[in-house]
Amino acid sequence: MSLKNLINKEKVPTHVAIIMDGNGRWAKNRGKDRTIGHNKGAQSVKKVVKAAVEIGVNYLTLYSFSIENWNRPKIEIQAIMSLLVTFINSEIDTLKKNNIRFTTIGDITSLPVKVQKKVNYAIENTSNNTGLSLILALSYGAQQDITNAVRIICKKIENGELSSIDISEEFFSKYLSTANFPNPELLIRTSGECRLSNFLLWEIAYTELYFIETLWPDFDKEDFYKAIIDFQSREMRHGKISEQLAKKGYTL
């Protein structure tokens, strides 16, 4: 029996974010080139996107390429960029068929021109879809995103367009690249690492964290369902106590 049958469809997280870690180690463990691990990891992406659609997740953010990843060997970067283009070419029809909206966060302008064009093509051709929003974090870094938001707000203050008294948490969030999406309720990280690696630092203030030893290329639909079930077993108190939540019917 699939673990999907144990999921409470009324309590599925609206937004799930994933740090897809372990492609390189998966390949190394098999005596293969790291690029082989990335190719295998792309298959896991397809499985998880399908699983998310099946259980009703509305937003799925995948940490695909961080700003720090630009420091990797040039050949590996080229392989990842090529894989992104291949993924879009092979999956664009599937995205349309399944009403999936493709979008991104991060500095897309830093990607190779060919990749930028392909990414923009996917965004434009799925912009009217109303199902799952598949968000790829590309050339993304949370610290950089926060810093950029501060710069924009400071400039507006200098120009007299804003006053410091206008700034609140909600106001600040509107200047982040994630402004159009709700904050994640669940963050999954694979490969046994227990760190955030500069990913959605502002947005995950109250996000449930789930760490799993499985390397990303081995992560499948059942692993995803298991993370959802674990999420549903938790009590999100947000500073309150259990009794307060129970009175309002919030206890999971």
- Is the per-residue pLDDT at 251 higher than 50? no
Rg (CA), the chain: 19
Report pLDDT for 106.
Answer: 97
The DSSP element (H or E) to which 221 belongs, if any, is helix 221-232
CA 123 from centroid of its chain's CA atoms:
16
Contacts for 113 with CB less than 8 Å, ≥ 6 apart = none
- Domain borders along the chain are 11-248
Per-residue pLDDT reduced to its tens digit, 15-38? 999 999 999 999 999 999 999 999
Q: With contact defined as beta carbons under 8 Å apart, do 139 and 111 qualify? A: yes
Phi-psi region of 241 (alpha: psi -120 to 50; beta: other; left: phi over 0): beta
Active site residues per annotation: 21, 69
Rounded to an integer, the average pLDDT of 71-90 is 96
The DSSP element (H or E) to which 61 belongs, if any, is strand 59-66
Query: 186-189 and 133-140 as β-strands: parallel, antiparallel, unpaired?
Result: unpaired
Tell me the C-alpha distance between 131 and 58, whole Å.
Answer: 7
Per-residue pLDDT reduced to its tens digit, 117-131? 999 999 999 999 999
Tell me the C-alpha distance between 53 and 92, whole Å.
Answer: 16
- Is the per-residue pLDDT at 238 higher than 80? no
CATH topology assigned to domain 11-248: Undecaprenyl pyrophosphate synthetase (3.40.1180)
